[in-house]
Amino acid sequence: MKSKLVQLLRENQGFFLSGEKISIELNCSRTAVWKHVNALRKEGYVIEAVSNKGYQLMQNEDLLSKHAILSRVKDNPLFHHIAFYDSVTSTNTIAHKLINEDVKEGVVVVADEQTAGKGRLGRKWASPKRSAIAMSIILKPKLDFRQAPQLTLVAAVAVTRAVKIVTGLELEIKWPNDLLIKGKKVCGILTEMQADSDRIQSIIIGIGLNVNQQHFSEELVDLATSLQKEGDRVFDRAELIAAILKEFTWLYETYITKGFSFIKPLWEAHEITIGKEVVARSASNTKTGIAIGIDEEGVLLLQDDDQDVHRIYSADISF
C-alpha cells in the first residue's frame, strides 16, 4: 500500500492530490491514507498536507527505501522480494544469511549504507549512506558451477544498459566485470556461489554502483568516479535499481533459455579490454600479453609474446 501511495504521489508531483482521490485509487479509507502518509514521513519523505487541497510530495531527494524501490519495480517476474536495510556490513553477507534460511530465487538485498562492503580479491568496497547503490541478487539457476562467471558478465551488461537508459552515460566494461567511465571505476560486481558437487545451489551477485558521491578519498580520487560526477546531476537510486533489475531479468532469462552466445555480443559491444596489451594478475601468477577475445564460456584469451594463448578464468586486469 505504501509503495502504491509513493508511486501515486510521485506521478502527481507538483500537484496536490485530494485524500478522497487517493482513497479511491488505493481502495482504502481516508484515515488509512493519513496513516500511510505519516508512515512515509517517518521514512524521510516530505509530504505537504493542506486542507481542501490534499497531499503533495515536496522534494525529489534521493531517498532510498523499500517503497521507493517497489513503487518502480512493477510486475517483475523474477524479483518479487526486496529485503531493504538502512545499514548493513555487506549486502552479500546478508544474502548468505537469507540463503541459509532457505529463501527462494529472486530476493534482492538492498542497503542504503554498507559498513564493511566486500570487493573482489579480499578488497574493501565503500558504499556511503545516501549516495551509493549496494545490492545483492539471490539466484538459484540449474547450472554447472563452471558457468557461474558467465552470470557476472550478464550482470555487467545489465548494469551498463540500465545506466545508459536512466542517465544517458556510457559505461565501459573491463573484463570481467569492472565498469568504468573514462577509465575510472564506477561499479564493481562480486559474485559468490554455493555449489554442491558440480551444480550451483545458489549464487549471489553483489553490485556496488557509485551514484551520487561527490568526493572520493585521496587514495581513490584518480581511480574511482560516480554517475553524479560524470553526469553533473543527482540520480535517483531507486530508479537505477529498478532499471538494473529489469535489464537483468530479460538478460538472465535469455541466458538460461538460449545460452551465453546470446549475451556475448552484448558484452562485447561495451567492452574495452580486447585488442589491448594487458597484465592479468591472479592469486597464483601474473601473465602479460594481448587480450584477443573471450571464448564461448566468457573466459579471457590472452596471447603472450610466444603466440601461446592462455585461458584466464579469474584475474585483475591492468592495461
Q: Is residue 160 a contact point for ligand BTN (CB under 6 A)?
A: no
Q: Which is nearer to ligand BTN, 119 or 141 (CB)?
A: 119
Compute the distance between CA of residue 207 and CA of residue 219 in angstroms, rounded to an integer. 21
Closest to ligand BTN by CB, 132 or 200: 132
Please tell me whether 114 is known to bind a ligand. Answer: yes
Grid cell digits, residue 214: 561527490
- Report the nearest approach of ligand BTN to the CB of residue 121 (Å): 7
257 has binding-site annotation: no
Task: Please give the helix or strand (H or E) that residue 40 lies within, else none.
Answer: helix 30-42
Residue 119 binds ligand BTN, judged by CB under 6 A: yes
Q: Residue 36 or residue 174: which is nearer to ligand BTN going by CB? A: 174
134 Cβ contact list (under 8 Å, min separation 6): 88, 90, 91, 110, 111, 113, 114, 117, 127, 206, 207, 208
Positive or negative: CA dihedral 250, 11, 241, 223:
positive
Q: How far is the CB of 85 from ligand BTN (least distance, A)?
A: 11
Which listed residue (117, 149, 289, 293) binds ligand BTN by CB under 6 A?
A: 117
By CB under 6 A, is residue 3 in contact with ligand BTN?
no
Judged by CB under 6 A, the chain residues 247 through 286 that form the site for ligand BTN are none
Q: How far from each other are the two terminal CA atoms of the chain, in whole angstroms?
A: 50
Kindly state the smallest distance separating residue 155's Cβ from ligand BTN, in Å.
10
Cα dist. 312→161, 261, 306 in Å?
25, 18, 17
Are the C-beta atoms of 207 and 177 separated by less than 8 Å?
A: no
Binding site for ligand BTN (CB under 6 A): 90-92, 114, 117-120, 123, 125, 127, 134-136, 178, 188-190, 206-208
